[in-house]
Amino acid sequence: MPGKVALYPGTFDPMTNGHLDIVQRCAKLFDLIVVGVAVNPGKQPLLNVEERLAVVRRATADIANVEVHRFEGLTVKYAQEISARYLLRGLRAISDFEYELQMAMMNRTMAAEIETFFVVPDAQYSFLSSSMIKSIAKMDGDVASFVPAAALEALQRKFAS
Ligand code: ADP
């Protein structure tokens, strides 16, 4: 893969406008952003990995230097496989920081050549979380302004069935 490749890993259950904001910002800084959708057997996602991939692909379709792939297992191993030297993580509030710092340190211990970048979203997205959006959507609340259209459709399909 060419130039500066950055991996943005996550569960994306579903992708929110906050996640998308991070991708848009970073697409201007790196040659290629790979959004890595984690299969993550430890978590019990609402959307299966194919649904999560499809949402991220549609939401990022107009950004030329973004690819979307699934991955399993250790994030740093996947980063090495695709020759990504950078890991991107979003920081919304101080509450994200402790966990993210711990993970960045563990990842550095496992793969010293990979650098973690923390990116802050626009303030309007700093309160968004996939879990809160799922809770609201489940109770038939309107989440249209918080998620890309593809995510809204996926949530509507899920809760209609
Ligand atoms: P994970 O299970 O790896 O935490 P998530 O999909 O929940 O996966 O989040 C992926 C990344 O996106 C994390 O770094 C998280 O902090 C960040 N993130 C989540 N919500 C937002 C948001 N609203 N704005 C910016 N970054 C976010």
Report pLDDT digits (tens) over 114-156: 999 999 999 999 999 999 999 999 999 999 999 999 999 999 9
What end-to-end distance do the CA atoms of the chain give, in Å? 40
Give the global pTM.
0.96
pLDDT of residue 43: 81
Encoding tokens for residue 51? 């649904």
CA distances from 44 to 35, 41, 48, 131 (A): 20, 7, 9, 12
pLDDT at 1 over 60: no
Per residue in 37-92, pLDDT (tens digit) is: 999 778 899 999 999 999 999 999 999 999 999 999 999 999 999 999 999 999 99
Q: Which two tokens stand for residue 76?
A: 């740093």
Own/partner pairs, 45-49, CB within 8 angstroms, 24+ separation: 45/11, 45/13, 46/13, 46/14, 46/134, 46/155, 46/158, 47/13, 47/14, 47/154, 47/158
Q: What pLDDT does residue 128 have?
A: 95
> For ligand 1, what atom is nearest to the CA of residue 13?
6
> Under DSSP, is residue 97 helix (H, G, I), strand (E, B) or coil?
helix
C-alpha neighbours within 13 Å on the C-beta side of residue 153: 10
Question: What is the best residue among 92, 99, 117 to mutate for testing ligand 1's pocket, by most ligand atoms within 8 Å of CB?
Answer: 92
Please give the pLDDT value at position 95.
85
Distance 131 CA to ligand 1 centre (A): 10
Take atom 21 of ligand 1 and give the residue whose Cα is closest.
Answer: 18
Looking at ligand 1, which residue's alpha carbon is closest to its atom 16? 90
pLDDT of residue 40: 78
Instruction: Give the active site residues.
Output: 19, 43, 92, 130
Give the mean model confidence (pLDDT) for residues 98-115.
97
